[in-house]
């Protein structure tokens, strides 16, 4: 679709959305897909190839969601498809150990500082299990997290900040009992003083602090220099575990994720890490792991229970291993080239249109905040313009570019984003900037 094309016709998506809403809450199986934050009808996708999505009406879009992170290599990468076909040919699930699981775990251990790893099926399971293990290992109950960091829909982590920095939190959604969040402390991100105060008051009760290694779920809000190291050191000083959630950043920001850009350089290691998205190659696979002595507390070696019928599923592990194997230095270099081209085009075009904006990145992951000052916390992210983002989003969609349908998400690229896809995004920007500025 050319950027000058008129608004795509979407009768088939509209019909499917109406059918879906009759049988599924909101018509979708994960809330952000419903377009509630930007309005309009979600595009029902029929197929995807490389950087392109094709909807059920035959419209094509450059994909800047990439399945919310997993599609590092783009859609339908030949090596991944071959691995999946080969695995499916041998059966889809056995409930017994396989060589593929060992190979995927070895590949992750080789790229990260984790010594032992357990496979699960979703990022939510990974963080939930890591929290349970941290509590079981330390014999303590309190969990510290940051406002704006999302770790999946774990009850104890769906918490909103209480009234003071060191007061315990309240449920962030109906359905989570107060008793599930009363042991969770929610602190402002990038705020060392808040962390120090919380540990000073509750340090001997804190089992763990969990943080996104570089938050992407309030839009990309990178850690201030040294912040992750400060968190690791504070946890260590108080006998708490530092859990670095790399579900989004793992194997995307670098071969060793966000840790590859800070911990590996600065010389510190998280006690536990969580992974998902890229390591499943677009199929359901995730993991948590870390220090051998901590992981030894997990069943069947230790007393902390955790399990999964489809954990280490042979098809998912094949897709994940093929993805990690294909993620060479050239892939990461291409991701940077694509992201740099888009960021430069956005900055030039939005500046020319007089549209206030800030682009924040970690590696090739970036967010475009429609505001005129850097965003360092959730409170600042929430103060950016949501209506302007909706206008930007719809103009881009009309011109064949599918951005994340929310102002508070990362934009993801893949190594398959070729020059034609990049150019289609660049060509769409001027009209979108005008729409957002008006
Ligand atoms: N942790 C982070 C940092 C995430 O971004 C997500 C999902 O977006 C999760 C955990 C939960 O992963 P899943 O959606 O696979 O349950």
| Averaged pLDDT, 159-173 | 83
Q: What whole-number distance in Å separates Cα of residue 433 and Cα of residue 414?
A: 24
Atom of ligand 1 nearest to the CA of 215: 3
- The answer to whether position 4 is within a domain reads no
Confidence of residue 3 (pLDDT cuts 50, 70, 90): very low
CB under 8 A, 24+ apart: contacts of 342-348: 342/366, 342/411, 342/413, 342/422, 342/425, 342/426, 345/425, 345/426, 345/429, 346/429
Neighbouring CB atoms inside 10 A of 241's CB total 27
Q: What whole-number distance in Å separates Cα of residue 323 and Cα of residue 79?
A: 8
Q: Do 306 and 193 belong together in one domain?
A: yes
Q: What whole-number distance in Å separates Cα of residue 301 and Cα of residue 308?
A: 16
User: Catalytic: which of 61, 150, 332, 389?
Assistant: 150
Interacting residues of 350 by C-beta distance below 8 A, sequence separation 6+:
356, 357, 368, 429, 433
Q: Do 302 and 360 belong together in one domain?
A: no
Closest Cα to atom 10, ligand 1: which residue?
Answer: 151
Tell me the whole-structure pTM to 2 decimals: 0.97
Q: Interface pTM (ipTM) of the complex?
A: 0.99
Nearest to 35 by CA among 404, 412, 378: 404
409 lines ligand 1 (CB under 6 A): no
Atom of ligand 1 nearest to the CA of 126: 10
Atom of ligand 1 nearest to the CA of 123: 12
Give the model confidence (pLDDT) of 112-140 as tens digits. Answer: 999 999 999 999 999 999 999 999 999 99
Catalytic-residue membership of 145: no
Give the model confidence (pLDDT) of 290-299 as tens digits. Answer: 999 999 999 9
Could you tell me if 168 and 184 are in contact, meaning their C-beta atoms sit under 8 angstroms apart?
yes
Give bridge partners of residue 288 from the DSSP assignment.
Answer: 118, 274
120 lines ligand 1 (CB under 6 A): no
Give the model confidence (pLDDT) of 341-380 as tens digits. Answer: 999 999 999 999 999 999 999 999 999 999 999 999 999 9
User: Catalytic: which of 55, 277, 389, 398?
Assistant: 277
pLDDT for the residue 6: 66
Catalytic-residue membership of 305: no
Q: Do 307 and 422 belong together in one domain?
A: no
User: Tokens standing for 307?
Assistant: 């399990």
Could you tell me if 221 and 179 are in contact, meaning their C-beta atoms sit under 8 angstroms apart?
no
- The answer to whether position 161 is within a domain reads yes
- The answer to whether position 3 is within a domain reads no
Q: Do 322 and 410 belong together in one domain?
A: no
Please say if the pLDDT value at position 163 is more than 90: no
Give the model confidence (pLDDT) of 248-272 as tens digits. Answer: 999 999 999 999 999 999 999 999 9
Q: Do 185 and 271 belong together in one domain?
A: yes
Q: What whole-number distance in Å separates Cα of residue 165 and Cα of residue 348?
A: 40
Closest Cα to atom 13, ligand 1: which residue?
Answer: 123
Domain containing 431 — which CATH number? 3.90.1150.10
Closest Cα to atom 12, ligand 1: which residue?
Answer: 123
Q: φ, ψ for residue 71 (rounded to 5)?
A: -80, 60
| Averaged pLDDT, 75-103 | 98
70 lines ligand 1 (CB under 6 A): no
245 lines ligand 1 (CB under 6 A): yes
Please say if the pLDDT value at position 150 is more than 50: yes
User: Tokens standing for 39?
Assistant: 């309005």
Nearest to 403 by CA among 12, 47, 66, 170: 66
246 lines ligand 1 (CB under 6 A): no
Could you tell me if 230 and 265 are in contact, meaning their C-beta atoms sit under 8 angstroms apart?
no
- The answer to whether position 370 is within a domain reads yes
User: Ligand 1 centre from 29 Cα, in Å?
Assistant: 15
Picking from 282, 307, 326, the residue at the C-terminal end of a domain is: 326
Radius of gyration (C-alpha) of the chain in whole angstroms: 21
pLDDT for the residue 35: 95
User: Ligand 1 centre from 348 Cα, in Å?
Assistant: 32
- The answer to whether position 147 is within a domain reads yes
The average confidence (pLDDT) of the chain is: 96
Catalytic-residue membership of 150: yes
Give the model confidence (pLDDT) of 62-84 as tens digits. Answer: 999 999 999 999 999 999 999 99
Q: Do 259 and 407 belong together in one domain?
A: no
Q: Do 162 and 146 belong together in one domain?
A: yes
Percent of the chain at pLDDT > 90 equals 93
User: Ligand 1 centre from 43 Cα, in Å?
Assistant: 22
Picking from 297, 326, 355, the residue at the C-terminal end of a domain is: 326
Please say if the pLDDT value at position 1 is more than 70: no
- The answer to whether position 136 is within a domain reads yes
Lowest mean pLDDT among 359-373, 378-392, 394-408: 378-392
pLDDT for the residue 168: 85
- The answer to whether position 410 is within a domain reads yes
Atom of ligand 1 nearest to the CA of 125: 16
- The answer to whether position 181 is within a domain reads yes
Neighbouring CB atoms inside 10 A of 343's CB total 17
Q: Do 314 and 394 belong together in one domain?
A: no
Q: What is the distance in angstroms between the CA of the first residue and the CA of the last residue of the chain?
A: 25
Confidence of residue 8 (pLDDT cuts 50, 70, 90): confident
Per the structure, the complete domain to which residue 382 belongs is given by 11-72+329-437
User: Tokens standing for 315?
Assistant: 């098809």
Please say if the pLDDT value at position 4 is more than 50: no
Interacting residues of 174 by C-beta distance below 8 A, sequence separation 6+:
none
Which of 31, 122, 151, 243 should be mutated for ligand 1, with most atoms under 8 A from CB? 151
121 lines ligand 1 (CB under 6 A): no
- Number of domains the chain is built from: 2
User: Ligand 1 centre from 432 Cα, in Å?
Assistant: 29
Give the model confidence (pLDDT) of 17-52 as tens digits. Answer: 999 999 999 999 999 999 999 999 999 999 999 999
Helix (H) or strand (E) holding 53: strand 52-55
258 lines ligand 1 (CB under 6 A): no
Please say if the pLDDT value at position 386 is more than 90: no
Residue with tokens 């030894």, as numbered in its chain: 296
| Averaged pLDDT, 408-424 | 97
pLDDT for the residue 426: 98
Q: Do 402 and 293 belong together in one domain?
A: no
Please say if the pLDDT value at position 162 is more than 80: no
| Averaged pLDDT, 178-195 | 95
User: Tokens standing for 18?
Assistant: 């109406």
Could you tell me if 154 and 247 are in contact, meaning their C-beta atoms sit under 8 angstroms apart?
no
pLDDT for the residue 160: 86
Q: Do 268 and 410 belong together in one domain?
A: no
């Amino acid at each position: 679709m050319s950027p000058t094309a008129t608004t795509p016709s979407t009768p088939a998506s509209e019909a499917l959305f109406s059918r879906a809403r009759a049988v599924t809450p909101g018509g979708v199986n994960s809330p952000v897909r419903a377009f509630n934050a930007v309005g309009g009808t979600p595009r029902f996708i029929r197929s995807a190839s490389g950087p392109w999505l094709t909807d059920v009406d035959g419209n094509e879009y450059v994909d800047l969601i990439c399945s919310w992170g997993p599609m590092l290599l783009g859609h339908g990468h030949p090596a991944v498809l071959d691995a999946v076909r080969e695995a499916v040919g041998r059966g889809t699930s056995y409930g017994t150990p396989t060589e593929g699981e060992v190979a995927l775990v070895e590949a992750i251990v080789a790229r990260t500082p984790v010594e032992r790893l357990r496979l699960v099926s979703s990022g939510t399971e990974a963080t939930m299990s890591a929290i349970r293990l941290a509590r079981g290992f330390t014999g303590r109950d309190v969990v510290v997290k940051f406002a704006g960091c999302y770790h999946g829909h774990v009850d104890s982590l769906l918490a909103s900040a209480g009234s003071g920095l060191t007061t315990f939190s309240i449920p962030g959604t109906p359905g989570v009992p107060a008793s599930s969040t009363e042991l969770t402390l929610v602190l402002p991100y990038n705020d060392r003083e808040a962390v120090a105060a919380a540990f000073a008051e509750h340090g001997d009760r804190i089992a763990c602090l969990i943080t996104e290694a570089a938050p992407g779920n309030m839009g990309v809000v990178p850690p201030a220099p040294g912040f992750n190291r400060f968190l690791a050191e504070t946890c260590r000083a108080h006998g708490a575990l530092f859990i670095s959630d790399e579900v989004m950043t793992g194997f995307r920001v670098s071969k060793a994720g966000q840790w590859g850009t800070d911990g590996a350089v600065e010389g510190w290691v998280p006690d536990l890490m969580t992974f998902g998205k890229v390591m499943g190659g677009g199929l359901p696979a995730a993991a948590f792991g870390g220090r051998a002595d901590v992981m030894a507390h997990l069943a069947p070696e230790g007393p902390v229970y955790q399990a999964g019928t489809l954990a280490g599923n042979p098809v998912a592990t094949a897709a994940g291993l093929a993805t990690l194997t294909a993620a060479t230095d050239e892939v990461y270099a291409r991701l940077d080239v694509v992201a740099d081209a888009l960021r430069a085009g956005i900055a030039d075009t939005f500046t020319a249109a007089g549209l206030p904006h800030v682009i924040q990145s970690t590696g090739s992951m970036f967010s475009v905040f429609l505001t005129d000052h850097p965003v360092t916390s959730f409170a600042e992210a929430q103060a950016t313009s949501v209506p302007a983002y909706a206008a930007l989003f719809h103009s881009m969609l009309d011109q064949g570019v599918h951005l994340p349908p929310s102002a508070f998400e990362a934009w993801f690229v893949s190594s398959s984003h070729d020059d034609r896809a990049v150019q289609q995004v660049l060509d769409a920007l001027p009209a979108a900037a005008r729409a957002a500025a008006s």
